[in-house]
Chain A
C-alpha cells in the first residue's frame, strides 16, 4: 500500500525506476523470477545467507519460500489496482479536508483510503488469485516438495504426470475452482457494500 501511495501521489527522482522494478515480475517469465529469487534468497544467496544467520529464516525449499514467491508475483497486481484507485480519488476532497484542519496523515486515513477502499479490495483479490495460481517462480525457487512447498497448481501438475492420478487431480481442480469462486464472490459482495456506502 505504501508503494502504491508513493507511486500514485509521490513526486521523487527514481519514481519511474521504482515503478519498473515493482512491475518487473509481471512481465518477466516466472521461471526467471524464481531463479532470481533462488540466487538472492537461496541458502548461499545474497540476502538468504544473511537472513538465515541472523534470524534463522530460511526460504529455499521451504513453505516460507513458496509464500515469498507468491507474494512477489502478486505484488505488482496489487500495487497496480491500489494505485489506480488512489489516483481516482478526487484531490479536491483532500484539499477540502485540509482546509478543515486535517493533517496529511489524517486526510489519508479519513478521506483517501476509505474512498479508495473498493480498489484496495480488488487489489487484494487479484494478488490472492495470482498467488494461488503461481507455478513457475515457485517451482523454480522452492521446487515441489510434498507437505512443504507443494502448492495447489504444483500438486495438480504432479498428479497429471502420475499414472492413475486423474481422479485426484480432478478433485484438486474442483477445490481450485471452489476457492476461486469463493474469493470472487466474497470480494464482489464486499466491494458492492463499500461502493454503495460511498455512493450513498
Chain B
C-alpha cells in the first residue's frame, strides 16, 4: 500500500495530490505538464516535496512534519524511467544485477525468472548501446524488478517507443504486473496503456487530481468533467467469460447481470476479459427494440448528460456493473428527453465491442 499526500511548488507550477495505491497497478494519467514526472520523482526521493507525507506500507518515505526524508537508496522503490537510463559502461548483465548486488538477502523473483519472463537471455553479454529501444526498456524493467523493490514506479516507460515496440513490450508488462504483488504506479499520457494494465486510475491535470478510483469509474468521472477529451473515446469494463458459442464463433460474457456477445472465441468460461465500448458505437433507445440485428441490448439509467458546444452530446449510462458512455447528437438527446435518472437501453452491435 502506497499512500501519497504531497504538495510541491516550483515557479508558477504547483503539485498538490493525495491518493492511495494498493497492491496492483494504479495508472496516473495526465498530459505533459500535469505533474506526473514530479510525482514520480517525489516518491522515488529525487525531488523533495514542500509538504506532506509518503508512506510505503508502515515505512514513512517522507514526512515533512516528522522531518523524515529517506534517501532514494533506502526507499526500496524501483523506478523504470522513460529513457531507460541503463549504465552505458556496464553490460546488460551488470545492469540487471546493479540493484541486486546492493540488496543482498532480499526476496523477490530470481535473476533467471526475470530474465526469462522478459526474454532478455540473449542480451546479457551485450552493451546497452547496442540494444533497440524496446530491448533497453525490457532490461530497465528487469533491473528495477531485481532491486527487490517494495513498490514499482513506471514513468512513461513506453512514451519514447514507436507503436510497434510498444506492442512488443506491453505483453511483458501485463504478465509482470500481475505476478508481482506490489503497489505499482504506472504514469502515462496514453489511456490505452492505462486500460490494458491498470486496475485503478488517478487522472491528473495541472497538478491536481481530477478523478480517482477503479479504472472505469475514474474514466467516467473524468469524462463528465471534460467530455470530448481524446482520453475518453471509450470505456473499458471488466467482464467474465460465461459461455462460448462455437457454432457461430461468439463469446458470451457476463457484465453485471447482462450478457454481452462479442465476436471470436475468448478464453474459457470463468476467465476475466476486458471489453472496450467506443462512445460513438453506442446507441440509446427508450424501449427495447425488437427484431434487430443488434445483439447487445443493455437496460440502464442515465447518470449524466453533457451537451457540448457543437452538435454532440455525451451521455453516461449506468448499466449495472459498468458506466458506459454514448456519444449522440444533441438533437437526439432532446428528442428522447434524456436526463439523469431516465431509464434507457444501450444498444451495442457485437462487432463494435472489442477486447481491450
Interface-centre pick from B79, B89, B127 (highest chain A CB count, 10 A): B89
In angstroms, Cα B99 to Cα A199, docked, is 22
**Other-chain contact of B88, A100, A102, A110, A115 (Cβ < 8 Å):** A115
User: Contacts A93-B87, A200-B129 known; A98 to B98 CB distance under 8 Å?
Assistant: no
B99-A101 in contact (CB<8A):
yes
Interface pick from B70-78, B218-226, B277-285, B325-333: B70-78
The answer for the CA separation of A93 and B85 in the assembled complex, in Å, is 6
CB nearest to B101 among chain A residues: A101
A24 CB within 8 Å of chain B: no
User: Which parts of B70-121 form the interface with A (CB within 8 Å)?
Assistant: 71-73, 75-79, 81, 83, 85, 87-89, 98-99, 102-103
A198 to B130 CA separation, bound complex (whole angstroms): 11
User: Does B300 lie at the interface of the complex (its beta carbon under 8 Å from any beta carbon of A)?
Assistant: no
Chain B residues, Cβ within 8 Å of A106:
102
Q: Does A9 contact B (CB under 8 A)?
A: no
Q: Does A6 touch B at the CB level, under 8 Å?
A: no
Q: Are B89 and A102 in contact (CB under 8 A)?
A: no
A96 touches B89 (CB 8 A): no
Interface string of B132-153 (1 = CB under 8 A from A): 0000000000011001000000
* A residues in contact with B102, CB < 8 Å: 100-102, 106
Distance from A162 Cβ to chain B, minimum over Cβ atoms (Å): 52
CA gap between A110 and B77 in the complex, in Å = 20
Query: What separation, in Å, do the CA atoms of A92 and B47 have in the docked complex?
Result: 12
- Is the CB of B54 closer than 8 A to any CB of chain A? no
CB of A10 to closest CB in B, whole Å: 18
B73 and A198 contact, CB distance less than 8 A = no
**CA A97 – CA B89 in complex, angstroms?**
13
Q: B147–A198 contact, CB under 8 A?
A: no
The A contact surface, by secondary structure, is: helix
What 1/0 flags go to A73-108 for Cβ under 8 Å of B? 000000000000000001011011111111100100
| A153: interface (CB < 8 Å) | no
Q: Is the CB of B73 within 8 A of A96?
A: no
Please report which residues of chain B, range 313-330, place their CB below 8 angstroms from some CB of chain A when the two chains form the complex: none
B100 to chain A, nearest CB (A): 9
In this assembly, does A111 line the interface, its C-beta being within 8 Å of a C-beta of chain B? Answer: yes
In the bound complex, CA of A111 to CA of B90 (Å) = 9
Is A100 a contact of B127 with CB atoms below 8 Å? Answer: no
Q: Which residues of B sit under 8 angstroms from A101, Cβ to Cβ?
A: 73, 76, 99, 102-103, 147
Known: A106-B102, A200-B128. A99 touches B45 (CB 8 A): yes
User: Could you say which of A96, A114, A200 has the most chain B C-beta atoms within 10 Å of its C-beta?
Assistant: A96
Residue A197 at the chain B interface, CB threshold 8 Å: yes
**Chain A residue at smallest Cβ distance from B82:** A92
A99 and B77 contact, CB distance less than 8 A? yes
- Decide: B88 and A199 in contact? CB cutoff 8 A: yes
B128 touching A102 by the CB < 8 A rule? no
Name the CB-closest residue of B to A114.
B89
Contact residue among A93, A96, A103 (Cβ-Cβ distance under 8 Å from B79): A96
Beta-carbon contact of A111 and B83 below 8 Å: no
Q: Which residues of A contact B128 (CB under 8 A)?
A: 200
Find out whether the CB atom of A200 lies under 8 angstroms from the CB atom of B73: no
A103 pairs with B73, CB closer than 8 A: yes
Q: CA–CA, A100 to B101, complex, Å?
A: 10
CA distance A13 to B128 in the complex (A): 39
Q: Is B46 an interface residue (CB 8 A)?
A: yes
A95, B126: Cα distance in complex, Å: 23
The residue of chain B having its C-beta at the shortest distance from the C-beta of A103 within the complex is B73
In the bound complex, CA of A103 to CA of B70 (Å)? 12
Decide yes or no whether B44 CB sits under 8 A from chain A: yes
A68 to B87, CA, bound (A): 38
Q: How far is the CA of A110 from the CA of B98 in the complex (A)?
A: 10
Assess whether A96 is in contact with B85, with CB atoms less than 8 Å apart: yes
Q: Report chain A residues within 8 Å CB of B77.
A: 99
Q: State the Cβ distance, B203 to closest chain A Cβ, in Å.
A: 26
Evaluate contact between B75 and A99: CB separation under 8 angstroms. yes
Name B31-74 residues within 8 Å CB distance of A: 44-46, 71-73
Q: Could you tell me if A111 and B87 are in contact, using CB atoms closer than 8 angstroms?
A: yes
Contacts of A198 in B (CB 8 A): 88-89
Decide if A100 touches B147 in the complex (CB within 8 Å).
Answer: yes
**A14, chain B: closest CB distance, angstroms:** 25
Other A-B pairs, 10, CB within 8 Å; known A99-B46, A115-B89: A92-B83, A93-B87, A95-B46, A98-B73, A99-B44, A100-B73, A101-B103, A115-B88, A200-B128, A200-B129
A selection of 27 A-B contacts at a CB cut-off of 8 Å is A92-B81, A92-B83, A93-B87, A95-B72, A96-B79, A96-B81, A98-B46, A98-B72, A99-B46, A99-B72, A99-B75, A99-B77, A99-B78, A100-B78, A100-B102, A101-B76, A101-B103, A103-B71, A106-B102, A111-B87, A115-B89, A198-B88, A198-B89, A199-B88, A200-B88, A200-B126, A200-B129
A residues with a Cβ closer than 8 A to B are 90, 92-93, 95-103, 106, 110-111, 114-115, 197-200
